[in-house]
Structure 1
Amino acid sequence: MPRSSQFGLSEAQVSQFIHHGYVALEDAFSRALARACRDILWAEMGLSPDRPQEWTKPVIRLGFMTQRPFTEAANTQRLHDTYDALAGKKRWLAPTGLGTFPVRFPSQQDPGDAGWHVDMSFGTDHPNFMQWRINVTSTGRALLMLFLLSGVGPDDAPTRIRVGSHHMIARQLLPRGAEGMTLQELAKHGFAETKGCEEVLATGPAGTVFLCHPFLVHAAQPNRGAQPRFLAQPPLLPKGEFDPALPPSPVQIAIRRANGLGL
């Protein structure tokens, strides 16, 4: 087990990340920053928290934002320490903002995007997103992250997480080497191999961040609450390609253990 308490996480938290595929940090950034981010997103959508009659869509997606509140929220000292602890010390690029944003509104409509999936990390220039790719060394992605910009309870469209599912994806990816697999290939059977995993919900107050293994299987769901749910789902980008000469990070330890390679 790497000595990670020096980077702001306890050994228990690092162990949870390796075994379960995620760790949640409350107060990773301030609620004042979360509120400032929401204000910008409301303006971008041309909507208002005071005019719920205009919330007519189940979800509105917004792109990457680089305004100061987003950059500051992604770069607190606590988060930098956690990036070091999970992805490897200084093996990641400081985020230049946050995005994308699926803003989910209270609705009885099917949002049409609530299927189980893994986020792909390279080949994203292909026009068909089902052809985007992921490989066993997680080229192009150091972490999957969920930034809660509003308080999220069980009814507020929390992301669903299949605990430990990253191990199963790692085993599927190993034989495919650097080429990896497409989302279409991974989703061929609807991620049936992960159906037996315990499910948890990404809930918490505004300012909470879920830092997840890049292979974690997760899904959206409709908002059955009373208020919109604001969330950013950016990747943490790696500084370089996988280097076997460096001590393995917890991300890499989880992959190795899933494939019976020790550590």
Structure 2
Amino acid sequence: MASGDQAIEHFQIHGWMRVPGAFDRAEASAMRDVVWHGLADVGVQRDAPATWTIERPEKLQQLKAHAAFNAVGSARLLAAIDAILETQAYQKPKRWGAIFVAFPTMDEWRVPASGWHVDANYTSQLSPPKGVQTHALFGDIAPRSGASQILSGSHRLIRKWFEDHPPPAGARSADMRKSLQRHPYVRDLHTEGDRGSRIDRFMNRVEEVDGIPLQVVENTGAARDVILLHPLTLHVAAPNNGVAPRFLLSGAVTTDMHGWAR
């Protein structure tokens, strides 16, 4: 892979990486056409922003089976997933995820203090991971325009926390989430505060904790990029303060249900 955020080493250190141009712009456009057609059925019109009144429309998931979305699973993307999972076998998904559209909102853009989550067992394997999450961008996503926020480095923080604070046998996900929120950095991330101060601390600075560089970053990019996330990487939805809808297909590849098959 290439250098920077496109490298496997970047994934291992930060818990995410970018696969640029995993599919092409024409394929991304075809995916948007499918979604706009579905939105038209509920009165949301592509060329009439006055109809964009629901920030996050629902009832789109029946569209994910459309053949247009198969383009996400390109040879380029599969090669990156193979490299991350090393020699582990996995089954290529029949569907590349759920559709998430976020229309522009007047809500103030911020680093959320709630909603941060992982989609894996908190004690899932660190390296190689037992899966990878796929965030396929089928529309351009600019900063502060609805991109998911990622706590870069959090996969390593979570692994270390539960090595140092093993959950009791039979602990539920909610119990482990509460345990993790005792970590000072994670506790602060979940504490409401001045919007500007939170942006400055969590997004504009890198804090090193136990040798792990932590920083909140936005899942921005071009239509056709796919962001790969370690299943232990904390992430959250954020407001869209841009001028266009945010289009995202969120899915996963897993070898053991991200640690739940135990």
| TM-score (ref. length: structure 2) | 0.73
Amino acid at match of 1:163: S
Correspondence 1:219 to 2:236: yes
Q: Secondary structure at the match of 1:176?
A: coil
> How many angstroms apart in 2 are the aligned matches of 1:241 and 1:156?
29
> Structure 2 vs 1, CA of residues 187 and 224 (structure 1 numbering), >3 Å: closer, same or farther?
farther
Paired position in structure 1 for 2:50: 53
Q: Note the aligned Cα RMSD (angstroms).
A: 3.1
Q: Secondary structure at the match of 1:232?
A: strand
Contact 1:158–1:202 at 8 Å: present in 2 too? yes
Cα deviation, 1:148-183, whole Å, max 9, x if unaligned, reads: 110000031111111111111112344238856514
In structure 1, list runs of 5 or more residues that go unmatched. Answer: 1-7, 122-132, 243-263
Correspondence 1:137 to 2:125: yes
Quote how far apart the aligned CAs of 1:103 are.
0.6
Quote how far apart the aligned CAs of 1:184 are.
5.5
Paired position in structure 1 for 2:84: 86
> How many angstroms apart in 2 are the aligned matches of 1:223 and 1:229?
7
| Relative contact order higher in (CA < 8 Å, ≥ 6 apart) | 2
Contact 2:131–2:258 at 8 Å: present in 1 too? no
Contact 1:135–1:179 at 8 Å: present in 2 too? no
Contact 2:85–2:130 at 8 Å: present in 1 too? no
Quote how far apart the aligned CAs of 1:51 are.
1.6
Contact 2:19–2:227 at 8 Å: present in 1 too? yes
Contact 1:136–1:180 at 8 Å: present in 2 too? no
Alignment of 1:170-189 (within 5 A): 170-174=159-163, 175-176=166-167, 181-183=172-174, 185-187=176-178, 189=181
> How many angstroms apart in 2 are the aligned matches of 1:230 and 1:201?
14
Match of 1:208 among 225, 230, 233: 225
Amino acid at match of 2:100: P
Identity of aligned residues (%): 25
In structure 2, list runs of 5 or more residues that go unmatched. Answer: 190-206, 208-213
Contact 2:150–2:233 at 8 Å: present in 1 too? yes
Amino acid at match of 2:79: D
Paired position in structure 1 for 2:152: 163
Alignment of 1:1-263 (within 5 A): 13-46=7-40, 47-61=44-58, 62-63=60-61, 65-73=64-72, 75-89=73-87, 91-109=89-107, 115-121=114-120, 133-137=121-125, 142-174=131-163, 175-176=166-167, 181-183=172-174, 185-187=176-178, 189=181, 193-194=185-186, 195=189, 196=207, 197-238=214-255
Cα deviation, 1:234-256, whole Å, max 9, x if unaligned, reads: 111227898xxxxxxxxxxxxxx
Cα deviation, 1:203-258, whole Å, max 9, x if unaligned, reads: 1110111101100011211110110000111111227898xxxxxxxxxxxxxxxx
Quote how far apart the aligned CAs of 1:14 are.
1.5
Contact 1:147–1:207 at 8 Å: present in 2 too? yes
